[in-house]
Amino acid sequence: MTSISGLLPSAIEAIGNTPLVELSRIARAIDGRILAKLEYLNPGYSKKDRIARQIIEDAEASGGLKPGQTVVELTSGNTGTGLAIVCGIKGYPFVAVMSKGNSIERARMMSALGAEVILVDQQPGSAPGQVSGADLELVEQETIKIVRERQAFRADQFRLQGNFRAHYLNTGPEIIRQSGGKIDVFCDFAGTGGTFAGCAAALKEHNPQTKCFIVEPEGAAILAGGAVTYPNHRIQGGGYAMANLPLLIRDHIDGYLKVSDARAIEMTRRLAREEGIFAGFSSGANVAAAMDLLQTSFKNKTAVVLICDSGLKYLSTDLWEK
């Protein structure tokens, strides 16, 4: 068949190359610019499609994943959605193990994409929508059990370099290209820390003067050395109060920022109303943290953040009630 220019062989090739947009309305009252990478425009509506593709393709290349082998991963929904897409297209059965504390539309979307979804009860006392590190530990135990039982490949997003490489090889270089290389500061709400690690490495390699900040929930800022007084925060996808994130490169962390639930929610709502960007809690946290940077040590500078996932993933929560 004659090849048609611009035609992609599958949705996998539609992952990445997301737009970079200036948030001129939200930032109009401050001196400085915020550039936002619209990761919710990936096929699975989150940045995690990128790592799903990289982890699977790295494992195919190394022989760690055999044809037709089952893939299993612990997920807050986004990595699982990416893996469901990539595994579905490539023909690997996929099992997603998720806490019941994550929003239900994520589980529905993964099953629609052909995944087997196993939901794990939260710790007694944990509230739905508020997944703590302890809840995640229960999901981890279940994941380990399923991997063993099914002799599966674990697409381990907390440990595998594919998570780092997806952002180091793609997200970071895309930001550099799309911004003309003029980024002063980057901040990112950490879950596995893979996005931070990969983007920070690429940005600093391009310009060692670029400063990179970790964003954590108020009351669960363990990476900054804080005490965990509020593990059940609302910012889904990260802030698990895990002191050791294997993918993080400590030398690339120039500082730490904290964002409260209320500020993350307020900024997520502003993104929708003022910028037409329909995103989730962690995207609001990233933008709120960038505003803090531009109003303090980085006046008149350019900050970049990721818009991690879509607001559609939170329709069952009270994020959009007002």
Ligand X SMILES: Cc1ncc(COP(=O)(O)O)c(C=O)c1O
Q: In this structure, which amino acid lies at residue 236?
A: Q
Q: Are 200 and 186 in contact (CB under 8 A)?
A: yes
- For residue 239, state whether it binds ligand X (rule: CB under 6 A): no
Smallest separation (angstroms) from ligand X to the CB of 67: 28
Smallest separation (angstroms) from ligand X to the CB of 66: 26
Smallest separation (angstroms) from ligand X to the CB of 319: 12
Task: Compose the 216-235 pattern: x for residues touching ligand X by CB under 6 A, - for all others.
Answer: --------------------
Tally Cβ neighbours within 10 Å of residue 8: 10
- For residue 170, state whether it binds ligand X (rule: CB under 6 A): no
- For residue 76, state whether it binds ligand X (rule: CB under 6 A): yes
Q: What are phi and psi of 157, to 5 degrees?
A: -70, -20
Catalytic residue among 37, 47, 48, 90: 48
Q: How far apart are alpha carbons 247 and 194 in whole angstroms? A: 6
Which range, of 16-24, 59-67, 141-149, 191-199, touches ligand X by CB under 6 A? 191-199
Q: Which is nearer to ligand X, 20 or 30 (CB)?
A: 20
Q: In this structure, which amino acid lies at residue 44?
A: G
Residues sharing a CB contact under 8 Å with residue 3, sequence separation 6 or more, in sequence order: none
User: Tokens 């600093």 — which residue?
Assistant: 204
Has 48 been annotated as catalytic? yes
Q: How far apart are alpha carbons 27 and 24 in whole angstroms? A: 5
- For residue 237, state whether it binds ligand X (rule: CB under 6 A): yes
Which range, of 72-80, 126-134, 269-277, 293-301, touches ligand X by CB under 6 A? 72-80
Q: Which is nearer to ligand X, 142 or 216 (CB)?
A: 216
- Choosing from 37, 40, 45, 48, the residue that interacts with ligand X (CB under 6 A) is 48
- Choosing from 113, 131, 139, 190, the residue that interacts with ligand X (CB under 6 A) is 190
**Nearest alpha-carbon partner for 258 in 277, 299, 300, 230:** 230
Q: How far apart are alpha carbons 35 and 305 in whole angstroms? A: 6
Catalytic residue among 76, 282, 283, 310: 282
- Choosing from 16, 82, 193, 311, the residue that interacts with ligand X (CB under 6 A) is 193
- For residue 191, state whether it binds ligand X (rule: CB under 6 A): yes
Tally Cβ neighbours within 10 Å of residue 49: 29
According to DSSP, residue 12 is labeled G
Q: How far apart are alpha carbons 152 and 133 in whole angstroms? A: 24
- For residue 305, state whether it binds ligand X (rule: CB under 6 A): no
- For residue 302, state whether it binds ligand X (rule: CB under 6 A): no
- For residue 78, state whether it binds ligand X (rule: CB under 6 A): yes
Helix (H) or strand (E) holding 284: helix 281-295
Smallest separation (angstroms) from ligand X to the CB of 112: 18
Structure tokens at 204: 């600093």
Give the footprint of ligand X on residues 253-282 (CB under 6 A): 280, 282
Which range, of 93-101, 105-113, 184-192, 254-262, touches ligand X by CB under 6 A? 184-192
- Choosing from 94, 168, 186, 189, the residue that interacts with ligand X (CB under 6 A) is 189
- For residue 12, state whether it binds ligand X (rule: CB under 6 A): no
Spacing of C-alpha 84 from chain mean position: 16
- For residue 195, state whether it binds ligand X (rule: CB under 6 A): yes
Has 47 been annotated as catalytic? no
Burial label, 18 (beta-carbon count in 10 A; 0-12, 13-18, 19+): buried
Helix (H) or strand (E) holding 33: strand 32-38
Our CA angle for 82, 20, 172, nearest 5°, is 65
> Residues interacting with ligand X, by CB under 6 A?
46, 48, 76, 78-79, 189-196, 236-238, 280, 282, 308-309
The residues carrying an active-site annotation are 48, 282
